[in-house]
Each structure stands twice: as C-alpha cells, then as structure tokens.
Amino acid sequence: MITKDTMIGEVVEKYPIAATLMEEFGLHCFGCHSNPSESIEAGVLSHGFSANEVEMLVTELNKLASEPQVNKNSEGTVMVTETAAGEIKNLLESQKKADHGLKVKVVAGGCAGFKYEINFVKAPSEGDTVVESNGLKLFVDPASMSFLKGCQIDYTAGLMNAGFKVINPNEKHACGCGSSVGF
C-alpha cells in the first residue's frame, strides 16, 4: 500500500506508470531525479499543493497500483531486428555468455521520466515474460511489458550515432539528449 510517507522513488520504481500520473498531477521534477528519496507528502507540499491534494494523489496512486497495467498498444510484443540480433549474438559470444538472454526493462529516470535498461542475464526473473526473437531470448518484467509492447530493438552501424536503439511506438516524448523517454 502506498502512503503519504512512501518515497517517490519507491513508487516510480515499483509502478513506472505512476510517473505519468504524478506528471499529470503537476509534479514534473521527479523525472529528473531531483529528489526520489523525498516522501510523496513532502514532494507534493513543496510544490505548493495542500494536504488534501496529498491524500487525493495517494488515493489515485493506490488505485493505479491495484489495477493491471494495460498498454493502449496491445498488439505485438518486444522483438529484436535481424541486424541487432547479429550484433547481440557477437557480443554474447565474445563475452562467453552464449547461453544468456537479454533482460529488457523500463526504469524511472532521466529528464523525460523513463529509461531503457538492457543487460545480459542467464535466466528470467520470477514473473518475467520470455520472448524469443531472431534466435534470442528476451526477458521482460510485467511492469515493463506494458510499455514495451510493439517495440523493436535495432542496431545502427556508422561513424555517428552507432549502437542499439529501442524503437517504441508507445513513446509520447523524449528528452533532448536522447537518453530518456516519456509514455
């Protein structure tokens, strides 16, 4: 249960969609991590809202936390393009992790509110969805899956801006530096 004493960072980490609710409520600085260790009450009051509004936000956050997270784009799932799969397989082999998969996650952070995290892991965590794409296993936690449905992980080669990119039709905006996104 979320209370007024729950830390903002805890709520957003456990329920990433809560960041959108807080932003709609008028709290914009949480995405930049100005103070994720601040309680919801302290954060709301420091933005000039009343104690009554603190309770309203806590009520809405608890409603959000109790509902299954449904993405407006329910078609498709996370996939890796052939180009990205080739690069990932090369990395896995060079790091002697050919039996590993990719943990794909959306976490709170950055100017726009969220960041993508992609790491090599040996096995899925409890509750993860396992997706096979172009010969790779992807492990996605339930909270992240709601943001990642329909997205592709691609790889671009070249002298500038080379690297892995997440192409996600669910993104609403991104920060100017390109390291975080909003939903």
What the block records as the tokens of 135 is 């010969």
- The pLDDT of residue 177 is 65
- Residue 93, in any domain of the structure: yes
* Domain region containing 162: 79-182
Where a domain ends, among 21, 40, 66? 66
- The pLDDT of residue 58 is 92
- The pLDDT of residue 111 is 77
- In this structure, the answer to whether residues 14 and 58 fall within a common structural domain is yes
What the block records as the tokens of 60 is 């809405």
- Residue 2, in any domain of the structure: no
Where a domain ends, among 66, 97, 115? 66
- In this structure, the answer to whether residues 105 and 155 fall within a common structural domain is yes
Tens digit of pLDDT at every position of the chain (183 positions): 899 999 887 887 777 667 767 777 777 654 444 466 788 898 888 888 899 999 999 998 888 777 644 333 334 688 999 999 999 999 999 999 999 999 999 998 877 788 999 999 999 998 888 889 999 999 998 889 888 988 999 888 777 777 888 888 888 777 766 677 877
- Residue 49, in any domain of the structure: yes
- List the strands of the sheet with 152-156, edge to edge: 79-80, 152-156, 163-167
- Residue 51, in any domain of the structure: yes
User: What DSSP letter does each residue of 122-137 carry, written as one string?
Assistant: SSPPTT-EEEEETTEE
- Residue 20, in any domain of the structure: yes
- Residue 74, in any domain of the structure: no
- The pLDDT of residue 67 is 63
- The pLDDT of residue 69 is 44
CA atoms within 13 A on the CB side of 148: 31
Domain count, the chain: 2
- In this structure, the answer to whether residues 58 and 84 fall within a common structural domain is no
- The pLDDT of residue 14 is 74
- In this structure, the answer to whether residues 97 and 154 fall within a common structural domain is yes
- In this structure, the answer to whether residues 38 and 119 fall within a common structural domain is no
In 3D space, the residue among 9, 68, 65 whose CA is nearest the CA of residue 36 turns out to be 9
- Residue 3, in any domain of the structure: no
- Residue 72, in any domain of the structure: no
